[in-house]
Amino acid sequence: MEKNNGLYELIYEYYESRILFGVYRYGEQLSSVPQICASFQLARNTVQAALNKLEKKGYIKTEERKAARVEYRGTEETFKENAAKYFVPRKEGIIDFQYAGELLFSPLWKIGLHSLKLDTGSGKYWNQQTAGVVSMPAKVYFDVLHTFHNDLLLNLYWQCLRYLNFLYPRRNREKAGNSAGKLLSPDKIDNLKQEFDDFFTEIQDEVLDFIESSSKNYCTEPAGQIPFTWTIYRRRPQVRYTLASLIIREILWERYPVGSYLPSLPKMAEQYQVSLSTVRRTLEVLHSLGVTRTYMGIGTKVCLEPVNDKIMNESEIRENLRLYGEGLQILAITVRGVALFTLESVSKEKREELLQTIRRLHGKTGSILCIDVLLSFIARECPSAIIRECYDKLRELAAWGYILSAVLIRSGQLDNGFSDFICRLEEDMQTGNFTAFAERWQTFIEDRMNFFYSKFPICNS
């Protein structure tokens, strides 16, 4: 999980909320730095950066070789007001997560729990050290997801907990850690999912009741809803990679055909609502991939040239490939349920639009556009705003499969052979066999994931 020091904000917001909500009160100690590191799987310097910010904001006081103490003073009324101001604008997201979480995390739980069961004898996942830092149900779920060795997945999980503030933590519940024995009993491991769901539902109902009762008292002005946002941490600024991903997709869809020129830098800055410096950095990324080439006094030409596999030695390329592979893994496990849910929820007209877009894939090469069709459909049409957000981010990462295609072309291999797959998708849509459609996508993405890791095993290490 340690990929970017921006992660210190996660620790900062975690403790800020618990201090403002009255879980930790004036004069009380926070957990030790080693305990916090173990709970969040983060390095000491990242945790220390979060504590430094908490101290600067006046929430805590730190002393060398001692656990930090809370400096914030509040009353019961203040704590309730702070919680209301956080949760009332997130009511819609909290309700949505009940459905989104089932589609996103339940399939991951089933697979990860099998691996966890194989490892319970080692004691690795039944560590009581973190009790009181992260609630035990959340910690168990983290341990299950940790079996995938997928940093992107853990990032998504933590940010979901961050948004929900999991959920309104009662002081006696979180500090006592009284759920640990019940949830962490190895002989009840098969019941953990149900116990976690019951735990989540109980707290969610409490939070929704709290929102209903407190909104009139503490939020007198209408508050706009704050949606869930998934921030993908990177070692380098994200905007250039997001824009590069978008331009790659537009080139592959022939908005900018090979041989044509991209708009001027000022026009691109205006069109994509970014700075000129961001456009320049984005073009540097595209040049390194052989996507474009700039000619002085003429402009930036679309090339889509094959690239040498030595590009894998570049750290930023390897990081994007890592994210691509981890994104494929999340898709391979969740796409069946998400695709079926979306198809069954939309109108006949929307399904017809999807069918027409699938037909546009005939004659195209590369799996990127195939996956892009489905992910863009889900990101637009899924009833769940949280799933739309997650699949939109996964769509961005999927475009980095271009690197795989470019390297294969360089080595004389081709990334094609999707005609039969497209025909079967058309048949499924025409006959209304949405289950077969969703299962076909699951198999397709699993195959792409396995193929990717067979070519770039270093990204799975």
Tokens of 416: 């094609």
C-alpha separations of 342 from 93, 367, 414 in Å: 18, 21, 32
Residue 131's nearest CA partner among 39, 20, 18 is 39
Q: How far apart are CA 208 and CA 197, in angstroms?
A: 16
Q: How far apart are CA 294 and CA 297, in angstroms?
A: 9
| Angle formed at CA 394 by CA 389 and CA 395, multiple of 5 degrees | 95
Token pair 């100690």 in the structure block, residue: 29
pLDDT at 122: 39
Q: Where on the phi/psi map is residue 417: left (φ > 0), alpha (ψ -120 to 50), or beta?
A: left
Q: How far apart are CA 248 and CA 262, in angstroms?
A: 12
pLDDT tens series, the chain, 461 aa: 444 456 788 889 889 999 999 989 999 999 888 888 877 777 889 899 999 999 999 999 988 888 899 999 999 999 999 999 899 999 999 999 988 999 999 899 888 877 766 554 433 443 444 445 566 667 777 778 888 989 899 889 888 888 988 777 666 655 544 343 444 455 566 666 777 778 788 888 889 999 988 887 887 676 689 999 998 876 655 688 888 888 988 888 888 988 999 999 999 999 999 999 999 999 988 888 888 999 988 999 998 877 766 777 777 778 888 899 999 999 999 999 999 999 999 999 999 999 999 998 887 766 788 899 999 999 999 999 999 999 999 998 888 887 766 666 554 444 556 788 999 999 999 999 999 999 999 999 999 899 888 877 766 65
Taking the whole predicted model, whether its pTM rises above 0.75 is answered as yes
Q: How far apart are CA 103 and CA 384, in angstroms?
A: 10
Is residue 119 within 8 A of residue 246, CB to CB? The reply is no
Is residue 180 within 8 A of residue 136, CB to CB? The reply is yes
Give bridge partners of residue 295 from the DSSP assignment: 299
Is residue 196 within 8 A of residue 137, CB to CB? The reply is yes
Q: How far apart are CA 66 and CA 17, in angstroms?
A: 22
In angstroms, how far apart are the furthest CA atoms of the chain?
Answer: 71
Give bridge partners of residue 60 from the DSSP assignment: 70
pLDDT at 399: 83
Q: How far apart are CA 415 and CA 365, in angstroms?
A: 7
Q: How far apart are CA 283 and CA 303, in angstroms?
A: 13
Q: How far apart are CA 203 and CA 87, in angstroms?
A: 13
C-alpha separations of 142 from 38, 160, 230, 391 in Å: 12, 12, 17, 21
Q: How far apart are CA 179 and CA 283, in angstroms?
A: 52
**Count of CB atoms within 10 A of residue 2's CB?**
13
**Count of CB atoms within 10 A of residue 73's CB?**
9
pLDDT at 364: 74
Is residue 195 within 8 A of residue 78, CB to CB? The reply is no
Estimate the crossing angle of helix 91-119 against helix 192-218, to 10 degrees.
160
Is residue 224 within 8 A of residue 90, CB to CB? The reply is no
The CA-to-CA distance between both ends of the chain, in Å, stands at: 13
pLDDT at 174: 54
Token pair 């978008």 in the structure block, residue: 246
pLDDT at 460: 62
Tell me, letter by letter, the H, E, C secondary structure of the chain.
CCCCHHHHHHHHHHHHHHHHCCCCCCCCECCCHHHHHHHHCCCHHHHHHHHHHHHHCCCEEEECCEEEEECCCCCHHHHHHHHHHHHHHHHHHHHHHHHHHHHHHHHHHHHHHHHHHHHHHHCCCCCHHHCCCCCHHHHHHHHHHHCCCCHHHHHHHHHHHHHHCCCCCCHHHHHHCCCHHHHCCHHHHHHHHHHHHHHHHHHHHHHHHHHHHHHHHHCCCCCCCCCCCCCCCCCCCCHHHHHHHHHHHHHHCCCCCCCCECCCHHHHHHHHCCCHHHHHHHHHHHHHCCCEEEECCCEEEECCCCCCHHHHHCHHHHHHHHHHHHHHHHHHHHHHHHHHHHHHHCCHHHHHHHHHHHHCCCCCCCHHHHHHHHHHHHHHHCCCHHHHHHHHHHHHHHCCHHHHHHHHHHCCCCCCCCHHHHHHHHHHHHHCCHHHHHHHHHHHHHHHHHHHHHHCHHHHC
Give bridge partners of residue 302 from the DSSP assignment: 292
pLDDT at 11: 85
Residue type, 429: M
